[in-house]
Amino acid sequence: MVYPRFPVSFWSFGYIKRIGGFSAVMPPLGLAILAALTPSEFDVAIVDENIETIDFDTECDVVALSAMAIQEARLFEVADAFRRRGRLVCMGGPICNVLPERCRPHCDVLFEGEGEYTWKQFLADWCQGTYRDHYVQADKIDMRDSPAPRVELLKVDQYRLGCVQTTRGCPFKCEFCDIIVTYGRKVRAKPIAHVIAELQQWADHGVDFVTLADDNLVGDRAYCRQMLRAVADWNRARAVPISLYAEMSVDAVRDPELLELCRQANITEMFLGVETPRKAGLRETLKMQNVATDLVSAVKTIQSYGMVTVAGMIIGFDSDDAAIFEDQYAFLQEAGIPIVMLGLLQAIPRTPLYERLERAGRLRSPAQGNNTLSFTNIEPVCMRYDELVDGYRTLFTRLYTLDAIRDRWLANVDAWRSVPGRTWQQKPLGRWRPFMVVQTLLILRWYVARPSRFAFFCRMIAGTFTRLPAAVLQTFSYLAYFIHLREYADKVVAREWKFNYALDDVNTSANRFGEGGAINMLRLEAQENGPPRDSTIHRAEIRGVESVHERGETIIPRSRASD
Ligand code: B12
Ligand code: SF4
Instruction: Express each pLDDT in 39-92 by its tens digit.
Output: 999 999 999 999 999 999 999 999 999 999 988 888 999 999 999 999 999 999
- Asked whether the predicted pLDDT for residue 528 surpasses 70, the reply is no
Residue 4 in contact with ligand 1 by CB distance below 6 A: no
Question: How far apart (Å, rounded) are the C-alpha atoms in residues 34 and 46?
Answer: 10
Residue 522 in contact with ligand 1 by CB distance below 6 A: no
Contact 515, 74 (CB under 8 A): yes
Q: For residue 366, what pLDDT is reported? A: 80
The pick from 37, 70, 161, 172 for probing ligand 1's pocket by mutation, whose C-beta has the most ligand atoms within 8 angstroms, reads 70
Short-list 177, 176, 492, CA closest to 316: 176
Instruction: Express each pLDDT in 93-146 by its tens digit.
Output: 999 999 999 999 999 999 999 999 999 999 999 999 999 999 999 999 999 999
**Which three-class secondary structure state does DSSP give residue 466?**
helix
Please report the atom of ligand 2 found closest to the CA of residue 275. Answer: 7
Amino acid found at 269:
E
- Centre of ligand 2 to C-alpha 179, Å, is 7
Task: Report the relative pairing of strands 47-48 and 2-3 from DSSP bridges.
Answer: parallel
Contact 71, 5 (CB under 8 A): yes
Longest dimension (CA), the chain: 69
Nearest CA owner, ligand 1 atom 1:
213
- Mean pLDDT score, 225-249: 94
- Asked whether the predicted pLDDT for residue 338 surpasses 90, the reply is yes
**Which three-class secondary structure state does DSSP give residue 524?**
helix
- Asked whether the predicted pLDDT for residue 525 surpasses 60, the reply is no
Please report the atom of ligand 2 found closest to the CA of residue 289. Answer: 1
Give every CB contact of residue 486 below 8 A, 6+ residues apart in sequence: 400, 402, 405, 563
Nearest CA owner, ligand 1 atom 31:
30
| Phi, psi dihedrals of residue 110, rounded to the nearest 5° | -105, 135
- Centre of ligand 2 to C-alpha 282, Å, is 12
Q: For residue 496, what pLDDT is reported? A: 58
- Asked whether the predicted pLDDT for residue 503 surpasses 80, the reply is no
Nearest ligand to the C-alpha atom of residue 250: 2
Nearest ligand to the C-alpha atom of residue 131: 1
Q: For residue 51, what pLDDT is reported? A: 93
- Centre of ligand 1 to C-alpha 69, Å, is 9
The pick from 12, 26, 49, 68 for probing ligand 1's pocket by mutation, whose C-beta has the most ligand atoms within 8 angstroms, reads 68
Residue 10 in contact with ligand 1 by CB distance below 6 A: yes
Q: For residue 368, what pLDDT is reported? A: 79
Q: For residue 536, what pLDDT is reported? A: 33
Q: For residue 19, what pLDDT is reported? A: 84
| Phi, psi dihedrals of residue 8, rounded to the nearest 5° | -60, 135
Short-list 13, 51, 3, CA closest to 554: 13
- Asked whether the predicted pLDDT for residue 18 surpasses 70, the reply is yes
Q: For residue 463, what pLDDT is reported? A: 97
- Centre of ligand 1 to C-alpha 390, Å, is 28
Q: Give the pLDDT band of residue 344 (cuts 50, 70, 90).
A: very high
Q: For residue 265, what pLDDT is reported? A: 94
Short-list 308, 209, 323, CA closest to 268: 308
- Mean pLDDT score, 333-353: 96
**Which three-class secondary structure state does DSSP give residue 58?**
coil
Give every CB contact of residue 174 below 8 A, 6+ residues apart in sequence: 180, 273, 275, 285, 286, 287
Nearest CA owner, ligand 2 atom 6:
174
Residue 165 in contact with ligand 1 by CB distance below 6 A: yes
Residue 372 in contact with ligand 1 by CB distance below 6 A: yes
Per-residue DSSP letters for 191-251? -HHHHHHHHHHHHHTT--EEEE--S-TTSSHHHHHHHHHHHHHHHHTSSSPPEEEEEE-GG
Q: Give the pLDDT band of residue 287 (cuts 50, 70, 90).
A: very high
Question: How far apart (Å, rounded) are the C-alpha atoms in residues 244 and 242?
Answer: 7
Contact 8, 553 (CB under 8 A): yes
- Centre of ligand 2 to C-alpha 526, Å, is 42
Question: How far apart (Å, rounded) are the C-alpha atoms in residues 487 and 132?
Answer: 46
What pairs with residue 309 in β-bridges? 270
Contact 195, 210 (CB under 8 A): no
- Mean pLDDT score, 335-363: 95
| Phi, psi dihedrals of residue 136, rounded to the nearest 5° | -125, 130
Task: Report the relative pairing of strands 308-315 and 267-275 from DSSP bridges.
Answer: parallel
What average pLDDT is seen over the chain? Answer: 86
- Centre of ligand 2 to C-alpha 100, Å, is 22
Q: For residue 418, what pLDDT is reported? A: 67
Task: Report the relative pairing of strands 267-275 and 167-168 from DSSP bridges.
Answer: unpaired
Nearest ligand to the C-alpha atom of residue 183: 1
The pick from 5, 8, 11, 117 for probing ligand 1's pocket by mutation, whose C-beta has the most ligand atoms within 8 angstroms, reads 11
**CA–CA distances in Å: residue 28 to residues 150, 162, 185, 459, 478:** 11, 10, 24, 38, 24
Nearest CA owner, ligand 1 atom 6:
26
Contact 82, 56 (CB under 8 A): yes
What pairs with residue 212 in β-bridges? 164
Pocket-forming residues, ligand 2, beta carbon under 6 Å: 170, 172-174, 177, 179-180, 215-216, 249, 273
Give every CB contact of residue 112 below 8 A, 6+ residues apart in sequence: 92, 96, 97, 100, 134, 135, 136, 137
* Complete domains list, the chain, with CATH: 143-415 (3.80.30.20)
Instruction: Express each pLDDT in 138-167 by its tens digit.
Output: 999 999 999 999 999 999 999 989 999 999
Predicted TM-score (pTM) of the model is 0.90
